[in-house]
Every structure is written in C-alpha cells, then in structure tokens.
C-alpha cells in the first residue's frame, strides 16, 4: 500500500502597524463599541416574501394525492414565518417618532424630551413596553405594537411633542459652564448645552469616542470652525465642525443619526440633530469656551 503524505506549508502572518498621524478630523467607528446595544442589521429582517409558499419548493411527489397532505407540515417546519414590517425603528425621524416618544412618556418609559429621532434610548423604551404587554421584544414598532400603544395612551398635545428646549433634568452644569459663552458637554447625560452666562440656550444629544479613541475631558476653546469639513484621516464628512482640541471637534454625524449609540466616533463629539447643530454653528464664535466633563 502506498501512503501519501501531505506537506504542510506554514502561513506567514504579517502584522501592519499604523503610525499615529497628526492630522485633522475624526470619523465614525465601523463597529459598535462594547457596552452599546448594536442596531439590528437590515439583513436580519425578513420580508413577507421570505417565507416559502407551497409552490416555492414542492417535493417531486407533491402532485400525488397520497403525499399532498404531508407537504404543508414539512413546509411549516422549514420555512420562516412572515415578519410584520416595522412602522418605526432605529434611524426613523419625524413627527410620528415624537408622538411615539410622548406616548411612551405617558407610561413613564421615556423620560427625555421628545426629539423626533429614533435612537437607542427610544428602542430600549419600546422594548420595555413590549415586555410589559407581552409583545415580541424587538425594540422596533410594528403595527401590532403601535396599535397597542395607541390603545393604552391618549393623543399627546402639541406642547408635549414639541416642548420648549430645556436642559435635561439629568444634566448638571459644570461650574466652569456658568460664566461666559460655553459649549457645555456632559458625558454622563450624553448632552451638549449651549450656555451663555449660566443660562441654557439649547440642548442636544451627543455621542463620544470609544474606549480606544476617547473624547478628551477638560476645558478648551473653539480654535476654528469649518462648515463643510472632511476628515483628512478618515475621509468622512464632518459638517458644521467646531474644533476644540487638536483633531477633535463638535460636528454633525449622519452615522449617529442612523445608528444612534450603537456606534462611536474617533474622539469627536457627534451631534445627530442636523438642524440644531447648523443653528449652533452660526452662533458659536472662535474663542468660545468648551467644557467636556462627566
């Protein structure tokens, strides 16, 4: 008997080290950070056409009257049930999201001011509602969830859906924010407050860098502004950028608007409300104070 022996070829492992580049700009992380709840991928949501119909995969003998009765049971065990499309989900925006948030607030499941942006906080509130009423816990609002929520709450008023912009109750201003013109940024409440002489002018949700690319804490000043900035490191758009510490800046993030807190920046302070950051950009001047704190 002839014994064939295979010769194993060693695999060379090449490790490429990236030098730290002193360039301006930051971009979104490609993967969710640890501790953040990832946004469900679109590919995991099956459409009603994903479930097989009897004509999709008939057996060769399906035409026989003696085996036809067995086909439905076999199909039922192998095909996926239809999934009801979400009425709202993470990334959704608009007046209906504000209504959703206001209704969840009536049940003490959403404690923030309605923003009209469906992020991770809203998804968690929806998940809690679904658990409370025995619905499938998806974090997205299906027709079933929306019908149930409307049935156990009342129509919110315009004032409830569009309240005056105020400082979130959980956000406490750092003493350094009480004088002058300040971008007061709290990591605890994940909020940015535009403060003039101790009075909050406006507040918006923000997102920070990951544990590997953290947003620096301390007192800084706005070095310069760039309305249509593009990162020279990550080649990503950074609209309404206000730089305060090297390449770190406050700016609008379409990734934050789409994925919420499931993602992270590379050190910048991301804002997901484009209209709010556009207005703020026009008010802030170079030299204004920036305070980043817990």
| Cα 17 from Cα 125, distance rounded (Å) | 42
Nearest partner of 130 among 122, 139, 121, judged by Cα: 139
Q: What is the DSSP letter of 254?
A: H
Q: What is the DSSP letter of 210?
A: -
Beta strands in 128-236 (DSSP E): 141-142, 181-186, 191-196, 199-207, 218-221, 224-230
- pLDDT attached to residue 80: 58
**Six-digit token string for 238:** 């950074």
- pLDDT attached to residue 83: 63
Alpha-carbon separation of residue 28 from 151, 176, 185, 291 (angstroms): 39, 29, 19, 22
Alpha-carbon separation of residue 13 from 9, 10, 220 (angstroms): 13, 9, 43
Q: Which domains does the chain have, with CATH numbers?
A: 86-161 (1.10.101.10), 175-293 (2.40.440.10)
- pLDDT attached to residue 82: 63
Q: What is the mean pLDDT of the chain?
A: 77
pLDDT digits (tens, 9 = 90+) for 53-103: 333 333 444 344 444 444 444 444 456 556 667 899 988 888 899 999 999
- pLDDT attached to residue 284: 98
3-state helix, strand, coil in the chain (%, to 5): 25, 20, 50
More confident position, 71 or 280 = 280
């Amino acid at each position: 008997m002839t014994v064939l022996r295979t010769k194993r070829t060693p695999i060379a492992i090449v490790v490429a080290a990236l030098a730290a580049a002193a360039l301006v700009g930051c971009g979104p992380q490609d993967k969710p950070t640890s501790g953040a709840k990832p946004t469900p991928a679109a590919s995991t949501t099956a459409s009603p056409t994903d479930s097989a119909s009897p004509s999709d995969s008939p057996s060769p003998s399906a035409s026989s009257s003696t085996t036809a009765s067995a086909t439905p049971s076999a199909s039922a065990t192998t095909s996926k049930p239809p999934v009801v499309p979400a009425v709202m989900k993470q990334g959704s925006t608009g007046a209906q999201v504000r209504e959703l948030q206001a209704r969840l607030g009536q049940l003490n499941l959403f404690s923030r001011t309605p923003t009209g942006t469906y992020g991770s906080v809203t998804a968690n509130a929806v998940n809690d509602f679904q658990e409370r009423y025995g619905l499938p816990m998806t974090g997205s609002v299906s027709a079933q969830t929306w019908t149930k929520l409307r049935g156990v709450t009342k129509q919110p008023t315009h004032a409830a859906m569009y309240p005056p912009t105020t400082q979130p109750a959980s956000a406490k201003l750092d003493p350094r924010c009480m004088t002058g013109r300040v971008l007061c940024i709290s990591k605890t409440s994940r909020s940015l407050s535009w403060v003039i002489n101790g009075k909050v002018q406006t507040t918006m949700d923000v997102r920070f860098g990951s544990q590997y690319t953290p947003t620096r804490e301390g007192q800084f000043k706005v070095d310069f502004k760039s309305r249509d900035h593009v990162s020279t490191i990550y080649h990503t758009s950074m609209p309404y950028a206000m730089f305060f510490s090297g390449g770190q800046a406050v700016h609008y993030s379409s990734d934050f608007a789409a994925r919420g807190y499931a993602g992270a920046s590379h050190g910048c302070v991301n804002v997901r409300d484009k209209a709010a950051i556009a207005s703020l950009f026009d008010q802030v001047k170079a030299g204004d104070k920036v305070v980043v704190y817990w």
